């Protein structure tokens, strides 16, 4: 007998790999429900390092066809309400329009919850991507009901955006106005004759402001409506935008700092100081339930320097269309505001749950992680890369859990020393600046095996496209084999894999001690803490979706 071939296995059995990942290396395929949940939490329908936007679209529709309509609807709800996604929930709703309109009608208001989502839904259906090119009677009725359920003011505020515009949708579905005010508003939106005195007060205020911006108060409308207006002088434009900036709510301030700078608001004395105080107000941050990732994105997009700390800086500024002022020069977000974002990040760490025990965080710093977190799309590519997300997660965990170890990896473990007392930004930059080679997800686990380390939780943040450690598929993946060795020494240990790109395979097969969770929304921290403490099981993500009422 060939004793090498048939040697006795120690520890837990390692299942054979049953798939190839995008790098053509052995991997484990997720079930259709697991894969759909992953795609819904991470897919932005933009090109990623390994997959085109078209491939993502085909994959999502194929997966949706393999599961029950109820699960499709539940996935759309969770992706929208907890993952804060936009394109994929609208796509799943459009899929339901061709498959089960009764279920779509039950979940439509929760998935299509604002004007942007309505426009996404209508455009996806009209494109023919889901198998039809017209809304049909039932979806048309749902859109009419959606319009009727909004107040006049909220409907007017939802009229920003194109392809299609809200006016296009009104023309498409022919809603019946219930009041004279709504009748005038619909006519106003589609450019028909109307009674101006019957328009909602907000529309009248906006029209009065358009006629004489300096003599009228700034109306409470989306800033895009103000940005589309022309001003006679730069001084008038700065004055108006300074007022918008002074009165903007907390989240609107965080999201529109570059717009404020572009229109000269920060050139007005005192505005920058007002914004900085608002952003770093501890009570406002707690009320907003903001997490470090959201602030990190704002900091990066205002020239905070994410891409400046690697050789990819000019490349990412070019493909993302980042305006010159984000990198310095006229219209720059002031340093006092950027510093306030860093202060806010430190305060927001209080919203990250503490994870007890011996924690090891493994951020992937390989070459594929240099791609934009939300994929490539000409003119709107994010300045935040996958490696920045991984680094921020690791830095946040270290700040809240000072004893946690960080083992960044590419084709090997990269030696980077982090100081838990350093700022989140400093540690995230330090991590994001290293690496760039091939991917070996087993590398940090192999090091823990060699060290005979005591661990309670290992937390991976990766795109899961390991290939350097590729071996015989019959023996399973190197990651799974190394994890089983760790489990032999630490029976209670748990492995969490945060997958931040929309692919269908993983390196560790899902089971009771291994949790795969998709996406990079701030809910991830809560999911990980619940799994680590035993409050939820390995099927948390799919189980959470399946328990969602519709």
Answer whether 221's CB lies under 8 Å from 203's CB: no
Judge whether residue 9 has pLDDT over 60.
no
DSSP secondary structure of 30-41: PPHHHHHHHHHH
Exposure of 287 by Cβ count < 10 A (0-12 exposed, 13-18 middle, 19+ buried)?
exposed
Number of domains the chain is built from: 3
- CA terminus-to-terminus distance, the chain: 58
238 and 204 share a domain?
A: no
Give the confidence band of 205 by pLDDT, cuts at 50, 70, 90: very high
Q: Between residues 233 and 265, which one has the greater pLDDT?
A: 265
Q: Is 522 left (phi over 0), alpha (psi -120 to 50) or beta?
A: alpha
Give the confidence band of 197 by pLDDT, cuts at 50, 70, 90: very high
Judge whether residue 223 has pLDDT over 70.
yes
Q: Which helix (H) or strand (E) holds 410?
A: none
pLDDT in tens, 506-515: 999 999 999 9
Identify the CATH number of the domain in which residue 536 sits.
3.40.50.410
Query: 458-475 burial string, b = 16+ CB within 10 Å, else e?
Result: bbbbbbbbbbbbbeeeee
CA 122 to chain centre: 22
Q: Between residues 206 and 329, which one has the greater pLDDT?
A: 206
183 and 301 share a domain?
A: no
Give the confidence band of 219 by pLDDT, cuts at 50, 70, 90: very high
pLDDT in tens, 102-155: 999 999 999 999 999 999 999 999 999 999 889 999 999 999 999 999 999 999
Judge whether residue 527 has pLDDT over 90.
no
Per-residue confidence (pLDDT) for residue 7, from 0 to 100: 54
Exposure of 412 by Cβ count < 10 A (0-12 exposed, 13-18 middle, 19+ buried)?
middle
534 lies in a domain? yes
Per-residue confidence (pLDDT) for residue 530, from 0 to 100: 84
pTM of the model: 0.84
DSSP secondary structure of 161-220: --SS-HHHHHHHH-PPPSSHHHHHHHHHHTT----GGGS-HHHHHHHHHHH-TTTSPPPS
Among residues 294, 326, 351, which one ends one of the domains? 351
Per-residue confidence (pLDDT) for residue 21, from 0 to 100: 94
37 and 166 share a domain?
A: yes
Judge whether residue 308 has pLDDT over 80.
no
Answer whether 521's CB lies under 8 Å from 82's CB: yes
Q: Cβ atoms within 10 A of the Cβ of 1, count?
A: 5
270 and 369 share a domain?
A: no
437 and 518 share a domain?
A: yes
242 and 123 share a domain?
A: no
16 lies in a domain? no
Q: Between residues 204 and 44, which one has the greater pLDDT?
A: 204
542 lies in a domain? yes
Judge whether residue 18 has pLDDT over 80.
yes
378 and 519 share a domain?
A: yes
Tell me the two tokens of residue 333. 């977000």
Per-residue confidence (pLDDT) for residue 26, from 0 to 100: 96
Helix 87-97 to helix 53-66 angle (10° resolution) is: 50
121 and 146 share a domain?
A: yes
Give the confidence band of 304 by pLDDT, cuts at 50, 70, 90: low
Region 186-194: mean pLDDT is 96
Per-residue confidence (pLDDT) for residue 353, from 0 to 100: 79
- Which residue reads 């701030």 in tokens? 522
CA-CA distance, 179 to 199, in Å (whole number)? 11
Dihedral angle, C-alpha 372, 377, 383, 385, nearest 10 °: 0
Exposure of 270 by Cβ count < 10 A (0-12 exposed, 13-18 middle, 19+ buried)?
exposed
Residue among 102, 186, 169 at smallest CA distance from 135: 169
Give the confidence band of 314 by pLDDT, cuts at 50, 70, 90: very low
Q: Which helix (H) or strand (E) holds 516?
A: strand 514-518
Region 191-211: mean pLDDT is 95
Among residues 307, 331, 351, which one ends one of the domains? 351
Judge whether residue 323 has pLDDT over 50.
no
Among residues 198, 221, 244, which one ends one of the domains? 221
Per-residue confidence (pLDDT) for residue 3, from 0 to 100: 61
25 lies in a domain? no
Region 330-359: mean pLDDT is 87
370 and 334 share a domain?
A: no
7 lies in a domain? no
Per-residue confidence (pLDDT) for residue 318, from 0 to 100: 34
Per-residue confidence (pLDDT) for residue 350, from 0 to 100: 77
Tell me how far CA of residue 444 lies from CA of 415, 427, 440, 464, in angstroms: 11, 19, 9, 13
409 and 452 share a domain?
A: yes
Whole domain around residue 128: which residue ranges? 31-157+161-221
327 and 381 share a domain?
A: no
489 and 503 share a domain?
A: yes
Region 435-454: mean pLDDT is 96
Least confident of 24-33, 322-331, 448-457: 322-331
Per-residue confidence (pLDDT) for residue 388, from 0 to 100: 87
Per-residue confidence (pLDDT) for residue 312, from 0 to 100: 33
């Amino acid at each position: 007998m060939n004793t090498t071939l048939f040697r006795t296995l120690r520890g837990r059995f390692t299942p054979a790999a049953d798939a190839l990942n995008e790098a053509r290396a052995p991997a484990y395929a997720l079930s259709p429900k697991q894969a759909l949940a992953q795609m819904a939490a991470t897919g932005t329908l933009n090109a990623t390092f390994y997959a085109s936007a078209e491939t993502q679209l085909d994959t999502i529709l194929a997966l949706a066809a393999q599961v029950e309509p109820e699960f499709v609807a539940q996935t759309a709800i969770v992706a929208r309400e907890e993952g804060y996604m936009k394109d994929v929930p609208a796509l799943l709703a459009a899929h339901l329009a061709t498959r089960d309109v009764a279920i779509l009608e039950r979940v439509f208001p929760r998935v299509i919850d604002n004007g942007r989502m309505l426009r996404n839904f209508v455009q996806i259906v009209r494109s023919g991507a889901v198998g039809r090119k017209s809304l049909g009677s039932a979806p048309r009725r749902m859109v009419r009901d959606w319009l009727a359920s909004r107040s006049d003011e909220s409907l007017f505020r939802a009229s920003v955006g194109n392809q299609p515009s809200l006016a296009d949708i009104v023309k498409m579905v022919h809603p019946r106005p219930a009041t004279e005010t709504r009748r005038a508003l619909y006519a106003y939106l589609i450019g028909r004759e109307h009674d101006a005195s019957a328009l909602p007060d907000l529309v009248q205020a906006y029209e009065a402001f358009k006629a004489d911006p300096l003599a009228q108060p700034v109306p409470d409308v989306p800033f895009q409506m103000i940005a589309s207006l022309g001003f006679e002088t730069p001084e008038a434009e700065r004055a108006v935008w300074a007022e918008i900036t002074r009165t903007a709510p907390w989240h609107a301030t965080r999201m529109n700092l570059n717009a404020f700078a572009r229109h000269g608001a920060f050139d007005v004395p005192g505005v920058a100081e007002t914004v900085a105080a608002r952003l770093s107000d501890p009570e406002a941050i707690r009320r907003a339930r903001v997490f470090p990732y959201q602030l990190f994105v704002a900091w990066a997009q205002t020239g905070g320097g994410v891409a400046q700390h690697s050789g990819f800086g000019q490349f990412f500024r070019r493909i993302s269309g980042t305006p010159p002022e984000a990198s310095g020069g006229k219209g720059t977000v002031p340093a006092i505001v950027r510093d306030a974002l860093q202060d806010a990040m430190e305060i927001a760490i209080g919203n990250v749950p503490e994870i007890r025990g011996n924690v090891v965080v493994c951020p992937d710093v390989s070459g594929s992680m240099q791609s934009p977190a939300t994929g490539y799309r000409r003119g709107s590519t994010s300045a935040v890369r996958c490696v920045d997300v991984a680094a921020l997660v690791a830095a946040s965990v270290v700040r809240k859990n000072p004893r946690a170890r960080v083992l960044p990896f590419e084709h090997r473990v990269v030696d980077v020393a982090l100081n838990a007392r350093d700022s989140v930004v400093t540690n995230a930059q330090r991590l994001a600046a290293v690496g760039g080679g091939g991917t070996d997800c087993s590398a940090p686990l192999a090091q823990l095996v060699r060290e005979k380390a005591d661990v309670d939780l290992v937390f991976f943040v990766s795109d899961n496209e390991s290939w350097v450690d590729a071996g015989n598929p019959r023996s399973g993946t190197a990651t799974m084999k190394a994890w089983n060795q760790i489990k032999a020494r630490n029976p209670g240990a748990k492995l969490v894999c945060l997958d931040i790109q929309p692919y269908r395979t993983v390196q560790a097969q899902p089971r009771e001690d291994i949790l795969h969770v998709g996406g990079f929304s701030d809910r991830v921290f809560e999911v990980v803490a619940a799994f680590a403490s035993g409050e939820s099981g390995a099927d948390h993500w799919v189980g959470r979706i399946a328990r969602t009422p519709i």
